[in-house]
Structure 1
Amino acid sequence: MGGIVTSTLAKYVYHHPMIMDQYDIRAWVTISQDYSIPSILSQLLASLKGKVERVERDSLKVIEAEMLEIKKNLSGRRYLIVIDDIWSVVAWNHIQWLFPNNHNRSRIILTTRLMDVATNAAISSNIHMMRFLDDVQSLRLFQDKVFGDQDCPIELQSVGEKIVKGCGGLPLSIVTVAGLLSRIPRTPKLWKQIEVNDGQLGSILSLSYNHLPLHLRKCFLYMAAFPQEYDIRASELIKLWVAEGYMLRRYAFETVDLLAEHCLEDLTRQSLVLVTSRKIDGKIKSCRLHSMVRDSCVKQAGQEKFLLPVMDYFPTPILRRHFLPQVLQNHRRVSVSWHDLNLKDSGHSSCTTCIICIPQRGYRPKSSVQNFTSLRVLHVLRRNDRSYRELGQVFELSNLTYLASNIPDSIVPPAIAKLQNLQSLIIYRSDVRLPVEIWSLRMLRHLIAFTFQPLPLPKRATLSLVHLKTLSMAIDFVCSEKVVEMIPNIKKLGICYSQEKFGSGYYCLGNLIRFHRVEKLKLEMHHGSYVPRLIYLPLSLNKLELSGGWISWRDMMIVGSLPNLQVVKLKNHACHGEHWETIEGEFGNLILLLIDESNLQRWTAKSSHFPRLKCLMLHRCPYLDEIPHDFGNIHPLKLIEIDDHKNIYNIYIGKITKMIPCEVFLILFQT
């Protein structure tokens, strides 16, 4: 990302005496975003000749002559070329042929903010990812720039550490702030007034933003709504972008969700978004903005009147009480706190179309958005402590396309039928009771709660939710043929059962196979002893999670035969029995296997039964004496994670260290 001193590191290498002695000739060329071939050639040739002057000439004959001269200068000599700040794969493709392979250990260094450029240019895996400085390194850099060889005065140490902490490990930010502090009197009072972000840093970060196409700019600026250091769930962010209409399909086979995933990956490749966690299949699970990037994002979003993070611009309740009514009348998208929505004069706006609401711990007012008549998106951030507050009258807002919030009680009123544009309904509550009118929401794509009570079915069989992709978690869900026909395109399905009526086939689980598009299936069983329940599963599954007694180990071929299955999680004695024996042809595409709480004692398997397994996790399996010995021959296997219940690691460790390649990481943890 901008400011992480990639170019500074390259200059250090380029000018190092040992490097200078190793090469016959060196050259440095800076490309940047607005490049031209004549400019690159003239820079490169001037650098090779040791000249400062660079004159760009567009004559075709001149260009050809410079190309020949460059190749002549490099031919047969050991050279070091630095291509600094390159933004385009095309630019690299235009110039890479100029550098002959003399088989004498010549080298080319590229610096870029874009992963696509790096991977395209790298012949092997010689990519060095720049890291943020840790706290110790940051403080050392700061003190060196401000005080030199002197020690930091005691009265400035505390405020200095806070300033450095605010820089988030970004070297340019630290150096910029240090340069400012070194020019003013060294008093705690003045230091406390220093802003971390300034024009120099902002202009550097803006380069990355200006490089984005229009739709990515919208996606990026939208992230200003989330608080600093907040881990954003990728699934929620994608739903928000889709609800806002930022994803435009160019081809019939594209889906808006997939396009949104690609947009998020693009922003990470542009070094604007940090990935905080990924799923086992490599997709982004959560992300956030670096504090410096967020400052720039907030500023840009405000300048363009795209989105206003109210608490950033008006940090005190007094300021918000005074300015918020006017702000809401002039901004379509805002992020606010619970308290802001409770202000007497702020709850009226015909302009606001999007509210991102930030809960405040320890503060639980009754808030309302019923007077935001144009509201299309209402997203209340989720807190880990589940201290959600409800927003009244949300089901009266007929323009809503996205709703994620708590509700006053667990009963959704029939008035939900007014939300004919609703695409996503996410309720932070358990045992939610939906009215039969839910089936009239023809645009609904995602229906999510902690748990839903059994869905009421309409009398008219013609009603269906053809766009519904997600249903989770439904209690005692009956998979009748009628229900299958009513949600034919479901992709993610979560069900939990608490009654024992399977003997009579009451829940029709055999019809699960009729969900031809389901990719993720989660089945939970509560308060029930084991009886065989699974016979058929959808062939389209790539992720399966079972909790409670569902299947015996000897019948696991039902799971293993699924051709697209990549992730299997077996929890809370999901499988019955003591011995599991796999056979050839099963689990051909499995990447992750989790067994959490099981009575399994013997596991008979070969490496060829799990040819693509990358991650094996065994939690609370006290009777399992060993992992199959042949697993040491599973070449993709990178992680084995086990617990130490009853010192089981003493049994595993001796065998694992002999059979598992050194690149496999073994994690032992306590339950």
Structure 2
Amino acid sequence: MAYNLQPLITVLQGILDPDQTRWIVHENNPQFQSILDKATSLQQLLDKSSLTKLDSQIREVAHRAEDIIESRMVHQMISGYNSAIFTFTTPDLQQVILDLDSLMKQAETLVEMEDNKMLPELDSAMEQLKLVEMEDKKMLVGIDEDLMQLKDRLNRAEKKLEIVPIVGMGGVGKTTLSRKLYEDPLIVDHFDYRAWTTVSQDYNMRQILLNLLSCIIGKKECDQHMQKERHELKDVLYKSLCGRKYLIVLDDMWSTKFWDEMRMYFPDNNNGSRIVITTRESDVANHADSSRSQHQVQLLSESESWNLLRQLVFGEEECPLILQEIGRKIANDCGGLPLAISVIGGHLSKMDRSEDVWRKIGDNVIAAIGGSDKRCSSILSLSYNHLPNHLKPCFLYMGAFPEDCEISGYKLVYMWIAEGFVKSNGERSLEEEAEDWLKSLVDRNLFLVRKYKYGKPKRYSMHDMLRDICIRKSGEDMFLYGPNKSTFSNPRRMSFHTSDELEDVNDSTKSMSLTRSVICAGFRNAEFPSDAFLAARLLRVLDLTDMRFLYFPTVIFELVNLRFLGIDCDSSIPRGISRLWNLQTLIGYCQFDEPAELWKLSELRNLEVNEIELLKDEEMNYSVLKKLQWISVIQSIEETTTWDGVLKSIPNIKRLTIDDGFGTKSTAIDLSHLHSLEILTFSHMRTISSPDGFCCRFRVIFPCNIRKLVLLGCAINSEAWGTLCALHKLEVLEMKYCTLESEEKCDEEWEATNGDEFKREEKCDKEWEVADGDVFRSLQVLHLDSLDLVRWIADETNFPRLDHLRLRGCRNLKEIPSGIGDIPTLKLIELVDCSESAEDSAKTIAEEQSENGNDNLKVCIR
């Protein structure tokens, strides 16, 4: 890959940031600024080209600069850890400046040569079709449903020119599917003209035009236009298609630029013409036509995979019983990718049909595929090669995790930021930028979404074939090494997938002195190699969340360069966490002996821990954490505390959980100043409390940008609904284990029961009546879990945009309001462990909607 200089740029920007107060930079300031300017200019040049020839040289210079700067930073922080401010001095960096100058000149020369290079022309259209036909025609298992849907889109009565995008990862069968569609007799008869061309990454526009013309007007007539210029060929194409009903297939399209150049030469004759596009990238499909849905080609199921493999190896013969079990395993290990199954099927068809031979292949199917046919690797590598420079390290980072491992999207984002991959982009936060990069890798069909919540991706993985390429590329680019690599020396990043690998690392402590990341994943118990990590003073990322420690390894406090720390331990984290001055993300499944220390971490952005105990303001001594965006749980532990101090110290928080289970002396929580707050969870909030026998309301003043609100174990009175309806951006509302209380009735029952809380709760009417004027304007998801709700009164006007209603454990609820079914946006009603009468009401709603012609509403009962 073209080497990414962003980590070096991030380090320098951190030192030179005028808002930072940790470092005083004196005599070397001009050098720092010079290196930053030159590295930024070089990165911008690399981003605009596909240049890779200087990768090793750029990597060496960038790593040398990072090592010099960060080694000195760490040395000064460790030797003066009681200091609040450091004066930065460093060895001479003049040679780095000279090397960057030289690399810039070489890069400019090579880019100029690259721009002037002529792309080789492809052969004729007929030769191109032969290449397509070389694809195994037996790879047709599991596409019947796809074919039926696509034929319907091509044949329907819509007269307007339509674009039909077919999207999927490399090797999933897009070309096979579109070829089958293109040659279908019904399709052949339906159109006057049909034309097929393969676009590819480095497309030749002139040759593509000749390919299309050859299909439309015939090769003989096309030969008469061979000497024409490109713009003349476009005119010929346009005139040839005018007034005709045509089908164009643009196979393997990678670039929006290509579409922008060609679009105007496909006339809309208002006669039902169609253009089929196959692409690996959703953005390309959306650019061509965002008004209609893409046809996403899915991976094969286990049964479809086995049927395809069996067909490839045995044809019409029966598979011997002795080979069926191992055969199914081999098919499953291909991960549903038809190309991989085709390659391994071709390999097996040439080998002895013995159990021993098949089991040997089954031991490592991915290696067998790569060793028997380079076609699969070459096709899938195209997706990596086409990535922009800033996404390549993010793709390679997935290779640090074990096969079939599902990774939290948040965790990936935080790691990329800690590595320095992500650059700030104007007003957007680093997290927002990184989340867009993650989405882009999914849209390019390089990452798989393994878990959704309310329709939004949460956990990700990578297909085994792509992971194999990821690991190979990581080795070639010296990006990531596992400890079993014989050639590694001071690798930048290391991953450990077994306890033995981690325990053996103590034997090579010197080899980690320049390592920036260590990721331990896929195993639970191991001894912590203190000596090795004491030597790894420059670590930025340390992920130990898959492991479990009895005691917190205090040697971690010596890793003062850490940006990301993930750990799980039975004991509390002792005093000393504040030494990790650079820490941005702490994922700690543990308690804290000194929660006040966290407020000394000025770089902290994300804090995901079991809980942070709320102490008195004078004990916490809050400083303002301007960069903090997420705190998982802040919990009150005594009534003498208040929420004011902590809330003022986190002005830019985006995600927050407040647990008031032990109570505080606060009678209100004012969040109105938290303008960035979007996701809020309240746990055990005392909406109605009764100290000293008086009824006292606990008021919450919400900010205006809340998108998701979770109420867990809270008491909610009738006044709360008007407050929640006023949150006009609220999209998701979850209420779990909450009690619903009518204000008037509960006040009466309070007097009637002489202050007996238990009797009052028994007598209170468990009803949620949504008033006519209460409208949840933007609410899309409503989740009611284990509520003591008996009656729910509402209609479609109260929830005009609701998409998903989920009821769980609502065993006393008599029915779902019938008007809920009339919400035009509602797609799913889901009930889990609810009353039989509530289930019956959901079925009735679905039946009524179906009778009215609404087949979009689904009801799921479990």
Query: How high is the TM-score relative to the length of structure 1?
Result: 0.89
Q: 1:207 aligns with which of 382, 394, 404?
A: 382
CA contact (8 A) 2:775 2:799 kept: yes
Distance 1:231 1:334 in 2: 16
- Amino acid in structure 2 at the alignment position of 1:525: H
Give 1:446 shift.
1.3
CA contact (8 A) 2:816 2:838 kept: no
> Is 2:434 aligned against 1:267?
no
User: Residues 478-513 of structure 1: CA distance to partner in whole angstroms, max 9, x if unpaired?
Assistant: 554333332222221112233245xxxx14543333
Q: 1:448 aligns with which of 599, 608, 618?
A: 608
Structure-2 residue corresponding to 1:397:
559
Structure-1 residue corresponding to 2:677:
518
Q: Cα–Cα, structure 1 residues 234 and 24, in superposed 2: closer, same or farther, change >3 Å?
A: same
Which structure features the higher share of helix residues? Answer: 2
Structure-2 residue corresponding to 1:180:
347
Distance 1:498 1:124 in 2: 49
Query: How high is the TM-score relative to the length of structure 2?
Result: 0.70
Q: Aligned with 2:295: secondary structure?
A: coil
Give 1:237 shift.
0.8
> Is 2:733 aligned against 1:544?
no
Distance 2:229 2:818 in 1: 67
- Amino acid in structure 1 at the alignment position of 2:292: S
Give 1:455 shift.
4.7
Q: 2:858 aligns with which of 662, 665, 668?
A: 665
Trace 1:528-567 onto structure 2 (pairs within 5 A): 532-567=697-732
Q: Aligned with 1:608: secondary structure?
A: coil
> Is 2:759 aligned against 1:598?
no
Structure-2 residue corresponding to 1:228:
403
User: Residues 564-586 of structure 1: CA distance to partner in whole angstroms, max 9, x if unpaired?
Assistant: 21111111125334222223253
Structure-1 residue corresponding to 2:738:
573
Q: Which has the higher contact order (CA 8 A, sep 6+)?
A: 2
Distance 1:299 1:192 in 2: 25
> Is 2:260 aligned against 1:85?
no
Query: Which 10-residue stretch deviates more, 540-549 or 45-54?
Result: 45-54
CA contact (8 A) 1:474 1:495 kept: yes
Give 1:526 shift.
8.8
Structure-1 residue corresponding to 2:176:
8
Q: 2:493 aligns with which of 325, 332, 340?
A: 332
CA contact (8 A) 1:366 1:389 kept: no
User: Residues 431-475 of structure 1: CA distance to partner in whole angstroms, max 9, x if unpaired?
Assistant: 433353322211111122122233575669673212111112121
- Amino acid in structure 2 at the alignment position of 1:633: D
Q: 1:141 aligns with which of 288, 308, 317?
A: 308
Distance 1:123 1:448 in 2: 37
Query: Which 10-residue stretch deviates more, 156-165 or 85-94?
Result: 156-165
> Is 2:272 aligned against 1:108?
no
> Is 2:593 aligned against 1:433?
yes
> Is 2:462 aligned against 1:289?
yes
Give 1:44 shift.
1.3
> Is 2:199 aligned against 1:31?
yes
Structure-2 residue corresponding to 1:255:
429
Give 1:155 shift.
3.3
Q: Cα–Cα, structure 1 residues 646 and 336, in superposed 2: closer, same or farther, change >3 Å?
A: closer
Trace 1:14-163 onto structure 2 (pairs within 5 A): 14-51=182-219, 62-122=229-289, 125=292, 127-163=294-330
> Is 2:528 aligned against 1:373?
no
User: Residues 390-431 of structure 1: CA distance to partner in whole angstroms, max 9, x if unpaired?
Assistant: 545212211101101124621332x222211110111112x4
CA contact (8 A) 1:298 1:309 kept: no
The CA RMSD over aligned residues, in Å, is 2.9
> Is 2:657 aligned against 1:494?
yes
Give 1:168 shift.
0.5
Give 1:663 shift.
1.0
Structure-2 residue corresponding to 1:620:
809
Q: 1:636 aligns with which of 813, 822, 825?
A: 825
CA contact (8 A) 1:350 1:372 kept: yes
Q: Aligned with 1:285: secondary structure?
A: strand
User: Residues 137-169 of structure 1: CA distance to partner in whole angstroms, max 9, x if unpaired?
Assistant: 111111111121222233332322221111011
Of structures 1 and 2, the larger Rg is shown by 2
Q: Cα–Cα, structure 1 residues 117 and 551, in superposed 2: closer, same or farther, change >3 Å?
A: same
> Is 2:583 aligned against 1:418?
no
- Percent of aligned positions that are identical: 34
Distance 1:402 1:585 in 2: 44
Distance 2:489 2:499 in 1: 15
Q: Aligned with 2:610: secondary structure?
A: strand
- Amino acid in structure 1 at the alignment position of 2:654: K
Give 1:591 shift.
1.2
- Amino acid in structure 2 at the alignment position of 1:77: R
CA contact (8 A) 1:391 1:405 kept: no
CA contact (8 A) 1:550 1:575 kept: yes
Number of residues of Structure 1 aligned to a counterpart in Structure 2: 645
Q: Cα–Cα, structure 1 residues 353 and 644, in superposed 2: closer, same or farther, change >3 Å?
A: closer
Q: Cα–Cα, structure 1 residues 500 and 56, in superposed 2: closer, same or farther, change >3 Å?
A: farther
Q: Cα–Cα, structure 1 residues 389 and 79, in superposed 2: closer, same or farther, change >3 Å?
A: farther
Give 1:261 shift.
0.8
Query: Which 10-residue stretch deviates more, 151-160 or 34-43?
Result: 151-160
Gaps of 5+ in 1: 315-319
- Amino acid in structure 2 at the alignment position of 1:171: P
Distance 1:84 1:658 in 2: 43
- Amino acid in structure 2 at the alignment position of 1:648: S
User: Residues 211-249 of structure 1: CA distance to partner in whole angstroms, max 9, x if unpaired?
Assistant: 111110011111111111111111111111111111112
CA contact (8 A) 2:502 2:526 kept: no
Structure-2 residue corresponding to 1:406:
568
Structure-2 residue corresponding to 1:317:
none
Q: Aligned with 2:669: secondary structure?
A: helix
User: Residues 265-311 of structure 1: CA distance to partner in whole angstroms, max 9, x if unpaired?
Assistant: 1111111111123343x54211111111111111111221111245x
Q: 2:471 aligns with which of 293, 298, 302?
A: 298
Give 1:662 shift.
2.6
Q: Cα–Cα, structure 1 residues 482 and 457, in superposed 2: closer, same or farther, change >3 Å?
A: closer
Give 1:339 shift.
3.3
Gaps of 5+ in 2: 1-168, 362-366, 691-696, 743-765
Q: Aligned with 2:671: secondary structure?
A: helix
Q: Cα–Cα, structure 1 residues 74 and 645, in superposed 2: closer, same or farther, change >3 Å?
A: closer
CA contact (8 A) 1:570 1:596 kept: yes
Distance 2:324 2:186 in 1: 38
Q: Aligned with 1:254: secondary structure?
A: coil
Q: Aligned with 1:637: secondary structure?
A: coil
Distance 1:423 1:392 in 2: 19
Q: Cα–Cα, structure 1 residues 120 and 151, in superposed 2: closer, same or farther, change >3 Å?
A: same
CA contact (8 A) 1:434 1:456 kept: no
